Amino acid sequence: TQLLEQSPQFLSIQEGENLTVYCNSSSVFSSLQWYRQEPGEGPVLLVTVVTGGEVKKLKRLTFQFGDARKDSSLHITAAQPGDTGLYLCAGEGDTDKLIFGTGTRLQVFP
């Protein structure tokens, strides 16, 4: 069974701080996606990374796919209250279906 573990599970920070969320597995994934979910809504795709070592930037968010395609990280620079939400990584598994990580709940206080 392919699993994706995210850390930390919860993160509470002040506006302006930097943070990193990790998504780790012992399995190799052909691609990995990051979603953000706000309360009462479904997840929304932020980015897809497909090449080992790939780095993508989305404004203040930087996503990296590990060289071995077993892990990924999301770094947020100068966090804002609008970044608050649940962040989910998801990897394309052996059956071509998405396997979701356990989630990181981020709270950014003004």
Partner 1 sequence: DAGITQSPRHKVTETGTPVTLRCHQTENHRYMYWYRQDPGHGLRLIHYSYGVKDTDKGEVSDGYSVSRSKTEDFLLTLESATSSQTSVYFCAISEWSGRRTDTQYFGPGTRLTVL
Binding site for partner 1 (CB under 8 A): 1, 4, 6, 9, 30-31, 40-45, 48, 50, 88, 90, 92, 96-98, 100-103
> What's the closest the beta carbon of residue 81 comes to partner 1, in angstroms?
22
> How many residues in the chain?
110
> What's the closest the beta carbon of residue 9 comes to partner 1, in angstroms?
7
> What's the closest the beta carbon of residue 110 comes to partner 1, in angstroms?
26
Give the residue with the Cβ less far from partner 1, 13 or 92.
92
Give the residue with the Cβ less far from partner 1, 84 or 92.
92
Q: Long-range contacts for 98-103 (Cβ within 8 Å, ≥24 apart)?
A: 98/33, 99/2, 99/3, 99/4, 99/29, 100/4, 101/4, 101/5, 101/6, 101/23, 102/4, 102/5, 102/6, 102/9, 103/6, 103/9
